[in-house]
Amino acid sequence: MKKSRANSADPPPSAFGADLHLELSGHGLRAGLTDALREAVRTGRLVPGTRLPPSRSLAADLGVARNTVADSYAELVAEGWLTAQQGSGTRVARRAEPRRAAPAAPRTRPARHRPAYVLLPGSPDLAEFPRTQWLKAARRALTAAPHDAFGYGDAPGRVELRTALADYLARARGVYADPDRVVICAGFHHGLMLMAQALRARKVRAVAVESYGLDVYRDLLSGAGLDIPPLYVDEHGARTGDLARARGVGAVLMTPAHQYPTGVALHPDRRAAAVDWARATGGLILEDDYDGEFRYDRQPVGALQGLDPERVVYFGTASKSLAPGLRLAWMVLPEEMVPEIVAVKGHADYMSSSLEQLTLAEFIASGAYDRHVRSMRLRYRRRRDELVAALAQRAPGIRVTGMAAGLQAVLGLPRGTERSVVQAAARQDLAVSGMAEFRYEVPDSGGRLPEQDALVVNYAAPSDSAWAGALDALCRVMP
């Protein structure tokens, strides 16, 4: 006796058919179905060779009798729109070419030239991303992932990553980082955007910024409605003593471990002065520790956050240590700010992939992150040494300034030559950045930005095959 569908555990017929969107029209079901299929083939929505659902499956999907579908298929086979073969099913005929509108004439755009050698700052050596170890970590993380990891996620980020980061940052960077104070974000830019919104909600009017830095972050802060007075930088880093005389400043954005891009470390007295200012005024220090793991002449200086975790917001990122394409960064917040940032970020985490977070957590916990950082530290140090040696031999008048750290070096130039050197490099098919690109000075601000002609050269990013050519081109354009 045949079972009724209500009592059967078998899936419905449509569960085994391909999905097919059809809009039926006409006076009858068969005519409407035939017209809809014919139109789908004619317009190219069903391309030649496409296998159609079995008549039983399509009938169940459309809620019509199976014979209606079978008759429609048979009519279209007779007309040449479809073909039907035993064991191969019903397919769109190869000779049924759709009628398409004539394509518009393509616009001719000049090809964008990419220089043969790129020494622009900002990127690590992407060719050295640890693909094999990352894949192993991803497999382990995916295998062990709880079911809720596939949901929308919580705004602070996965607890597994926050816990792994708290342990790592305390050990490697001297950061006080309880997991409950860590918030995961999609890059430093995203974290700074969240912080700007929180500062505005606190009625902060101004955030001081270092007089050398990236204009994209200055634009972000000013776009959030914050004033951005400059904090001048010299050979000892930002002049943090000037904060005591600043009016209306509620926070300061700094790169104390390795000033970007001048390459100097913040002097210990100035570190103390910054913390004293924050304690006295209730202000916040926004510490961008973008490449704190990479120092080559001595042990990396610890993060400023360790001096006062309640007055310093620590920003870290995987962009320089691994790759910017991961879009993973983190903030370590004063305890009172955690609810504010979580509220700004929203109740669900729409920015950072939970699976990428779990993979990074496993990558750190397994020791693979430490091994990768050590390997890249040796690699970048060797590149920097090669740069210094080549300049000493071929351009002895050029001075390499700043710390032996990070991914870029500053090459001091004779006064008034920076622009001409950048132009000469372009003629050599070499892309470099002049220090002027990073300079920020507000007229009538009461301070003076020291003039500095220099190149900011990324020795980390070029591939092994391009490095020798890039170094040769760089030496040729030196004055």
Q: What pLDDT score does 441 carry?
A: 73
Q: What's at 290, amino acid-wise?
A: Y
Is there a contact between 340 and 119 (Cβ–Cβ < 8 Å)? no
Using pLDDT thresholds of 50, 70 and 90, give the confidence band for residue 478. very high
Q: What pLDDT score does 450 carry?
A: 56
| 57-87: pLDDT as tens digits | 888 888 888 998 999 998 998 888 999 887 7
Using pLDDT thresholds of 50, 70 and 90, give the confidence band for residue 100. low
Lowest-confidence region among 82-91, 190-199, 267-276, 350-359: 82-91
Q: At what angle do helices 354-365 and 159-173 cross, to 10 degrees?
A: 40
What is the domain-level CATH number for residue 247? 3.40.640.10
Torsional class of 3: left (φ above 0), alpha (ψ -120 to 50), beta (otherwise): beta
Q: Based on the domain organization, do 233 and 291 belong to the same domain?
A: yes
| Cα–Cα distance, 299 to 206 (Å, whole number) | 34
Q: Based on the domain organization, do 72 and 151 belong to the same domain?
A: no
Q: Is residue 360 part of a domain?
A: yes
Q: What pLDDT score does 299 carry?
A: 78
Q: Is residue 98 part of a domain?
A: no
Q: Based on the domain organization, do 288 and 434 belong to the same domain?
A: no
27/213: higher pLDDT: 213
Whether the full predicted model's pTM is greater than 0.85, yes or no, is no
Q: At what angle do helices 338-345 and 188-201 cross, to 10 degrees?
A: 110
| Cα–Cα distance, 467 to 118 (Å, whole number) | 9
Q: What pLDDT score does 24 carry?
A: 77
109/22: higher pLDDT: 22
What is the domain-level CATH number for residue 72? 1.10.10.10
Q: What pLDDT score does 105 carry?
A: 57
Q: Based on the domain organization, do 201 and 301 belong to the same domain?
A: yes
Q: Based on the domain organization, do 295 and 199 belong to the same domain?
A: yes
Lowest-confidence region among 349-353, 364-368, 376-380: 349-353
| 175-186: pLDDT as tens digits | 999 999 999 999
Whether 285 shows a pLDDT value over 70: the answer reads yes
| Cα–Cα distance, 38 to 183 (Å, whole number) | 55
Q: What's at 113, amino acid-wise?
A: H
- Grouping H, G, I as helix, E, B as strand and the rest as coil, residue 136 is helix
Q: What pLDDT score does 46 carry?
A: 87
First-last CA distance in the chain: 96
Q: What pLDDT score does 3 carry?
A: 39
267/246: higher pLDDT: 267
Q: What pLDDT score does 15 carry?
A: 44
Count of positions (residues) in the chain = 479
| 319-359: pLDDT as tens digits | 999 999 999 999 999 999 999 999 999 866 677 899 999 99
Which residue, of 44, 65, 92, is where some domain finishes? Answer: 92
Using pLDDT thresholds of 50, 70 and 90, give the confidence band for residue 26. low
Q: Based on the domain organization, do 286 and 237 belong to the same domain?
A: yes
Q: Provide the number of structural domains found in the chain.
A: 3
Percent of the chain with pLDDT over 70: 89
Q: Is residue 12 part of a domain?
A: no
Average pLDDT over residues 125-142: 96
| Cα–Cα distance, 7 to 22 (Å, whole number) | 30
Q: Based on the domain organization, do 354 and 450 belong to the same domain?
A: no
Q: Based on the domain organization, do 316 and 256 belong to the same domain?
A: yes
Q: Based on the domain organization, do 74 and 159 belong to the same domain?
A: no
What is the domain-level CATH number for residue 464? 3.90.1150.10
Is there a contact between 214 and 171 (Cβ–Cβ < 8 Å)? no
Q: Is residue 111 part of a domain?
A: no
- For residue 288, the tally of other CB atoms under 10 A from its CB is 26
| Host domain of residue 419 | 371-477
Q: Is residue 155 part of a domain?
A: yes
What residues contact residue 326 under an 8 Å CB cut-off, 6+ apart?
318, 319, 356, 360
Which residue, of 367, 384, 415, is where some domain finishes? Answer: 367
| Cα–Cα distance, 284 to 249 (Å, whole number) | 9
Which residue, of 92, 121, 139, is where some domain finishes? Answer: 92
Q: Based on the domain organization, do 350 and 382 belong to the same domain?
A: no
Lowest-confidence region among 9-13, 140-144, 283-287: 9-13
| Cα–Cα distance, 346 to 341 (Å, whole number) | 8
Q: Based on the domain organization, do 320 and 266 belong to the same domain?
A: yes
Q: Based on the domain organization, do 280 and 359 belong to the same domain?
A: yes
| Cα–Cα distance, 298 to 300 (Å, whole number) | 6
Average pLDDT, the chain: 88
| Cα–Cα distance, 140 to 19 (Å, whole number) | 34
Q: Is residue 123 part of a domain?
A: no
